[in-house]
Structure 1
Amino acid sequence: MSHSDEQLQSVLETLEGCRRVLNACDSRESAELLSIVILDVRMKLKGIDSADLKALCDEMLRSAASVPPSPSKQTQDQPRRPLLRVVK
């Protein structure tokens, strides 16, 4: 692991700690914004560029569009679940 990767890993750990604190303080919007930053840092560490992420999102949208909608409890008034979720 290079020195810059070690620095990014350290930053990532700090950001994840901050996100945990924000979630504990019920600052959901701030925690979600921080999740985007965490995703960006993880992508840099793994060598994934924005074109790869866009291709993944496009493929997920195509797959979701090809599956017939099933009846659910979700109505138009309820927010949609995100297609991507940040995981460790």
Structure 2
Amino acid sequence: MSHSDEQLQSVLETLEGCRRVLNACDSRESAELLSIVILDVRMKLKGIDSADLKALCDEMLRSAASEPPSPSKQTQDQPRRPLLRVVK
């Protein structure tokens, strides 16, 4: 692991700690924004560029569009599940 990767890993750990605190304080919107930053740092560590992420999102949307609609238990008042999930 290079020095810059070690620095990014340290930043990532700090950001994840901050997100945990925000979630504990019920600051959902701030925690979600921080999740985007965490995703960006993870992408840099793994060598994934934005074009790769866009291709993944496009493929997921194509797959979702081609699946037959299923009856949903969610109403418009309930939040949608995210299409992407941040993983470690």
Specify if TM > 0.5: yes
Percentage of identical aligned residues: 99
- The normalised TM-score by structure 2 is 0.95
C-alpha distance in 1 between matches for 2:46 and 2:66: 30
In structure 2, the gaps of 5 or more residues are: none
Structure 2 residue 84 is the aligned partner of structure 1 residue 84: yes
CA RMSD of aligned residues (A): 0.9
Aligned to 1:72, the other structure's residue is in SS state coil
How many residues get paired? 88
1:67 aligns with 67
- Greater shift, 52-61 or 64-73, is seen at 64-73
Q: What is the match of residue 24 of structure 2?
A: 24
1:66-86 alpha-carbon deviations (Å, 9 max, x no partner)? 100111212334332110011
Q: What are the ranges of 5 or more consecutive residues in structure 1 without an aligned counterpart?
A: none
Name the SS for the 1:74 alignment partner: coil
More moved, 73-82 vs 16-25: 73-82
Q: Select between 78-87 and 20-29 the one with higher mean Cα deviation.
A: 78-87
- Name the structure 2 match of 1:36: 36
| Inter-partner Cα distance in structure 2 for 1:75 and 1:22 | 27
SS at match of 2:78: coil
Tell me the CA shift for residue 13 of structure 1: 0.3
Distance verdict in 2 for CA 1:24–1:77, change over 3 Å: closer
| Alpha-carbon distance in 1 for matches of 2:77, 2:8 | 40
Structure 1 stretch displaced more, 27-36 or 67-76: 67-76
Q: Deviations for 1:10-62, whole angstroms, at most 9, x for unmatched residues? A: 00000000000000111010000000000000000000000000000000000
